């Protein structure tokens, strides 16, 4: 992979108004992600910038250096009513560069100060650094942390998610948050047909989540929108050519057939019952579990 280039930018606005989803606002301190997950739906956003969703997505990272100041300005507006903000819909808010810039931490602090609840999703273990801010938000039932977990198989993890922390580290981070009262759980997402959808692999994730104190577990099947689709199909052609024809049949469009998705949901629901993993309800706002988002 090419060296990573970080480009600092000033954003005109921090909050993005979202259309066609169950939430109204998203927030992304960065764009692009060194995690380089081959299936990541956010790859397509690099295409909007006339960059390559394949090669450029994990190597050209935009850093919105003024996002915390912009966010505070927007949250101070009289029109702001404290809607739930979804953090990390186009990138992982805890990719490694956050250790330097601390923009995600700044955004969380701004939301805490302005009574704005947050749901965030991450594969990054750096989230534990912000446990103090997250605890303050949790005391107001104003935060939910979702750890994206596709597999606990070491070989598949290295192949599919080359730049991410190991699954075991993510699970330990989730357990630490849950132990101090932060609502934290797992998104088994995306489930990748032919690679991570066998019952044994799914059960391994559910069991690990339960053993580490997950307070919820959601599931979602892989979807392939333009940009991501081309990259992922190229990955299959190079690494799993035997699956390519099946994918072309299973994905004539962006999503797998409803019957496949429903079968997967039923399987995971049964595994959750078997491992006594019951979703703890939240008294606050929608989470990624309810909204069906994944990185």
DSSP string, 122-156: ES-GGGGGGHHHHHHHHTTT-EEEEEEE----HHH
pTM for the predicted model, two decimal places: 0.93
Instruction: Please check whether the domain covering 5-291 is classified as CATH 3.20.20.70.
Output: yes
Q: Any idea which of 22-36, 154-168, 180-194 has the lowest mean pLDDT?
A: 22-36
The residue with greater pLDDT, 1 or 247, is 247
Q: What is the pLDDT of residue 96?
A: 96
CB contact at 8 A, 2 and 55? yes
For residue range 221-280, list pLDDT tens digits in order.
999 999 999 999 999 999 999 999 999 999 999 999 999 999 999 999 999 999 999 997
Residue 102: pLDDT over 90: yes
- DSSP secondary-structure letter at 120? E
For residue range 73-85, list pLDDT tens digits in order.
999 999 999 999 9
Q: What is the pLDDT of residue 289?
A: 44
pLDDT averaged over the chain? 93
149 forms beta bridges with: 188
Domain ranges, ordered by start, for the chain: 5-291
Whose CA is closest to 223, among 191, 264, 254, 185? 254
Q: What is the pLDDT of residue 282?
A: 65
């Amino acid at each position: 992979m090419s060296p990573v280039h970080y480009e600092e930018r000033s954003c005109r606005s921090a909050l993005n108004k979202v259309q066609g989803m169950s939430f109204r606002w998203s927030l992304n301190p960065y764009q692009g992600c060194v995690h380089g997950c081959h299936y990541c739906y956010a790859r397509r956003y690099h295409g909007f910038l006339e960059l390559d969703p394949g090669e450029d997505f994990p190597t050209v990272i935009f850093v919105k250096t003024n996002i915390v100041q912009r966010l505070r300005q927007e949250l101070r507006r009289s029109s702001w009513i404290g809607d739930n903000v979804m953090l990390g819909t186009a990138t992982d808010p805890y990719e490694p560069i956050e250790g330097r810039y601390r923009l995600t931490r700044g955004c969380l602090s701004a939301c805490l100060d302005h009574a704005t609840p947050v749901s965030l999703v991450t594969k990054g273990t750096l989230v534990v650094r912000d446990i103090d801010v997250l605890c303050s938000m949790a005391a107001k039932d104003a935060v939910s942390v979702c750890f994206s977990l596709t597999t606990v198989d070491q070989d598949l993890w290295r192949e599919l998610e080359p730049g991410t922390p190991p699954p075991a580290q993510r699970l330990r981070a989730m357990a630490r948050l849950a132990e101090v009262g932060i609502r934290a759980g797992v998104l088994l997402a995306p489930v990748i047909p032919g690679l991570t959808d066998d019952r044994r692999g799914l059960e391994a994730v559910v069991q690990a989540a339960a053993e580490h104190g997950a307070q919820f577990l959601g599931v979602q099947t892989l979807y392939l929108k333009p940009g991501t689709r081309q990259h992922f199909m190229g990955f299959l052609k190079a690494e799993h050519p035997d699956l390519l024809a099946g994918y072309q049949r299973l994905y004539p469009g962006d999503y797998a057939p409803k019957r496949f998705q429903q079968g997967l949901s039923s399987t995971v629901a049964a595994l959750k019952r078997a491992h006594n993993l019951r979703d703890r309800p939240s008294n606050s706002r929608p989470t990624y579990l309810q909204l069906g988002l994944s990185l």
